[in-house]
Amino acid sequence: MSENQMNGAEALIQSLEKIGIEIAFGIPGGSAIPIYDALYKVRRKMKFVLVRHEQNAAHEADGYARATGKPAAVLVTSGPGAANTVTGIMTAYMDSVPMIVVTGQSVRGMLGKDAFQEADIFNLTMPIVKHSYLLKNANEIPRVIKEAYHIATTGRPGPVLIDVPKDVGTEACTAELEAEMNLPGYKPNPKGYGPETIRQIADALAKSQRPVIIAGHGAVLSRAEKELRQFAETLQAPVATTLLGKGVFPDSHKLSLQGLGMHGTAYANRAVVECDLMISVGARLDDRILGVPSQFCKNAVKIHIDIDAAEFGKLVKPDIRCRGDAKTVLQDLLPLLKKGDTAEWIKRIEGFKKKWPMTYAKKGGLHPPQVIDALNKLTGGKAVMTTDVGQHQMWAWQFFRCDKPWQFISSGGAGTMGFGLPAAIGAQFGRPGETVVAIVGDGGFQMTMSDLATAVIHKLPVKIILMNNHYLGMVRQWQDMFYDERYSGVDLEGNPDFVELAKAYGVLGLNLKRAADIPKVLKKALEHPGPALVNVEVVHHEEVFPMVPPGKPLEDTVLCHPRRKPGRPAGRKNGPAQTGKKNA
């Protein structure tokens, strides 16, 4: 190879930069050394972040994408390095997040021979990627990178994996960086519907007296917030948002029902139960929002707008299916809309909101919603919030008030514990000037906390609010409610002193033990120029409500523990739990 000829790995890094990848997260290893050598030699603009675990690399790329809308790259080695990204790739795949994952691989001649650190990552990840490549020669690289980016970011976004044998990285690449894509089967269609579908939807909407809009991640990804708002206001229809749709319709809007589903608001669930028309804008209608799929909006007209045709009828059979990009569909629909006459319906919903307000306990110890609410006030609802998975996630979703999309970042489909911290790190890289808060639990945080180092090294001022109840709280809640209080494997005895742990990494560590100290301590953390961790000693036993018990329809939303008298559990005295009855 002559002096100025590039090798495969160099073509890879240059192609990533050329396509517009601004940041890469990863850890090197034997098979990835050529790629890392190329990072050293030819990288110009792309930022590289050395992380502490490959799962975190994927979550950080994920958090970056969910905060900015732009994909990041993950650069890891073969075998365990690649395998460690699996949870992160799955998380991104389930939530339609674009990502380019580049894995080192054994040399071509050793493939399938159980070489050192060889794993068949191409096949291992096949069900959790939008697409994947196993490179055979270096000349493919510019085309593959271009295709990978295109696939990851168009249609329904998702992760794309590229497996690079070490000797593909080192052999000469004579192909031009300007490559032609060759994807005859790939047909992302933002307008896979005709005018008659739009007319059908408009007609159905005109007939409806009790419409409900469900807005999901698709509405966020297509940047349809303006159109969605116009749509809801013209129609005078209430809007419920999914976990990943949070913020695409302002929580503070009069027509907002906030979240729906298993831990949605009682008024959102009731509105869905009573509606005569449900229109889903970019939500895939998953089991966590449906209750019992066959009973979901049983008597209502169901309209499903989704860019992915495979979502139609997966769980809910729609009356009208409209394959397309949420924004494009709404833009086509808006001119046909008649102003809705839904005053009665809205009045009824106002009644639901008064009857079953979202409140929380304030006495008898510290309660996570109190802390979230204080964060609302201190940040003006402008923070970017990431979460882990579990009770704190649901409280964050329920009580964080946000009026804009791209602000609430949470692992929905996969429900990946440990997501919060690395996602916050990724988000902070993407939005350097903004306040990024990770709400985590003591269980999930310990799964990925090694990346505190990453926050420190890069001086990322992420704020980690650790809701420490010394339990795997959500599982304990289920064991409490549905398994006769047989607490099995949920007591997190042996938790470290998180404040000391933070300090050991060079992170500001603060304890928060009394409700009276909430504003003071949070303020201190928020004002600290670097990363900070607040260990919040919350009440040990507390349940998330409202709740639709598993296997029950939305009609059966309960507001408190069905077996306990209101007020009995510590700290629920003044809480929302006035009745164990169904909400209707």
Partner 1 sequence: MSKEIPAHNLSIYVANRPGALARIAQTFSRRGFNIESLVVSAGATGDFSRMTITAKGDEAGLEQIIMQCSKLVDVLACREHTDEEVVARELALVKVAVDSAHRGEVLQIADHFRAKTVDLSEKSIVLEATGSSEKLDAMVDLLSKYKIIELVRTGKVIMARGERET
Q: Which is nearer to partner 1, 317 or 355 (CB)?
A: 317
Q: Which is nearer to partner 1, 189 or 200 (CB)?
A: 189
Say whether residue 123 binds partner 1 (CB under 8 A): yes
With CB under 8 A as the contact rule, which of the stretches 107-115, 128-136, 397-405, 538-546 interacts with partner 1?
A: 128-136
Angstrom distance (rounded) from CA 310 to CA 201: 20
Q: Is 262 a catalytic residue?
A: no
Total number of residues that touch partner 1 (CB under 8 A): 20
State phi, psi for 161 to the nearest 5 degrees: -110, 140
Tokens of 498: 């998180």
* Active-site entry in 10, 14, 46, 54: 54
Taking CB under 8 A as the criterion, which residues in 36-75 touch partner 1?
none
Q: Which residue, chain included where needed, has tokens 């707008």?
A: 305
Dmax of the chain from CA atoms?
Answer: 80
Q: Is 399 in contact with 369 (CB distance < 8 Å)?
A: yes
Q: Is 474 a catalytic residue?
A: yes
Q: Which is nearer to partner 1, 127 or 335 (CB)?
A: 127
Q: Which residues contact 236 (CB under 8 A, 6 or more apart)?
A: 255, 339, 340, 341, 342, 343, 346
With CB under 8 A as the contact rule, which of the stretches 247-255, 295-303, 312-320, 398-406 interacts with partner 1?
A: 312-320
Rounded least distance, CB 223 to partner 1, Å: 23
Query: Applying CB under 8 A, which of residues 112, 127, 335, 551 lies at the interface with partner 1?
Result: 127
Query: Applying CB under 8 A, which of residues 312, 345, 419, 429 lies at the interface with partner 1?
Result: 312
* Active-site entry in 385, 474, 481, 547: 474
Rounded least distance, CB 109 to partner 1, Å: 17
Query: Applying CB under 8 A, which of residues 55, 56, 132, 342 lies at the interface with partner 1?
Result: 132
Q: Where are the alpha helices (DSSP H) in 281-432?
A: 287-290, 326-333, 343-355, 368-379, 391-399, 420-430
Taking CB under 8 A as the criterion, which residues in 252-291 touch partner 1?
none
Say whether residue 130 binds partner 1 (CB under 8 A): yes
With CB under 8 A as the contact rule, which of the stretches 130-138, 284-292, 374-382, 537-545 interacts with partner 1?
A: 130-138
By three-state DSSP, how is residue 235 classified?
helix
Q: Which is nearer to partner 1, 317 or 459 (CB)?
A: 317
Cα end-to-end distance, the chain, whole Å: 76
Query: Applying CB under 8 A, which of residues 111, 177, 309, 457 lies at the interface with partner 1?
Result: 309
By three-state DSSP, how is residue 536 classified?
strand
Say whether residue 1 binds partner 1 (CB under 8 A): no
Q: Which is nearer to partner 1, 18 or 314 (CB)?
A: 314
Q: Which is nearer to partner 1, 130 or 392 (CB)?
A: 130
Rounded least distance, CB 311 to partner 1, Å: 8
Angstrom distance (rounded) from CA 71 to CA 75: 13
Q: Which is nearer to partner 1, 131 or 528 (CB)?
A: 131
The secondary element (H helix, E strand) that includes residue 258 is strand 256-259
Say whether residue 108 binds partner 1 (CB under 8 A): no
Say whether residue 335 binds partner 1 (CB under 8 A): no
Say whether residue 314 binds partner 1 (CB under 8 A): yes
CA dihedral 77, 81, 87, 89 (to 10 degrees): 0
Tokens of 562: 């069905």
By three-state DSSP, how is residue 280 classified?
strand
DSSP summary character for residue 7: B
With CB under 8 A as the contact rule, which of the stretches 77-85, 311-319, 437-445, 517-525 interacts with partner 1?
A: 311-319
* Active-site entry in 14, 55, 117, 428: 117
Q: Is 445 in contact with 466 (CB distance < 8 Å)?
A: yes
Taking CB under 8 A as the criterion, which residues in 371-390 touch partner 1?
none
C-alpha pair distances (Å), 307 with each of 193, 241, 260, 347: 10, 18, 22, 33
Say whether residue 321 binds partner 1 (CB under 8 A): no
Task: Give the β-pairing of 191-192 and 320-324.
Answer: antiparallel
* Active-site entry in 116, 523, 527, 565: 116
Q: Is 166 a catalytic residue?
A: yes
Strands (E), 35-151: 47-50, 73-76, 99-105, 131-134
Rounded least distance, CB 300 to partner 1, Å: 21
By three-state DSSP, how is residue 95 classified?
coil
Taking CB under 8 A as the criterion, which residues in 147-206 touch partner 1?
151, 183-186
With CB under 8 A as the contact rule, which of the stretches 8-16, 93-101, 122-130, 343-351 interacts with partner 1?
A: 122-130
By three-state DSSP, how is residue 350 classified?
helix
Query: Applying CB under 8 A, which of residues 1, 206, 310, 504 lies at the interface with partner 1?
Result: 310
Q: Which is nearer to partner 1, 185 or 433 (CB)?
A: 185
CA 318 from centroid of its chain's CA atoms: 25
**Letter for the amino acid at 27?**
I
Residue 385: CB atoms within 10 A of its CB come to 30
Angstrom distance (rounded) from CA 240 to CA 267: 10
Q: Is 116 a catalytic residue?
A: yes
**Letter for the amino acid at 302?**
K
Mutual orientation of helices 195-207 and 326-333 as an angle, nearest 10°? 70
Binding site for partner 1 (CB under 8 A): 122-123, 126-127, 130-132, 134, 136, 151, 183-186, 308-310, 312-314
Would you name the residues annotated as active-site residues? 54, 116-117, 166, 474
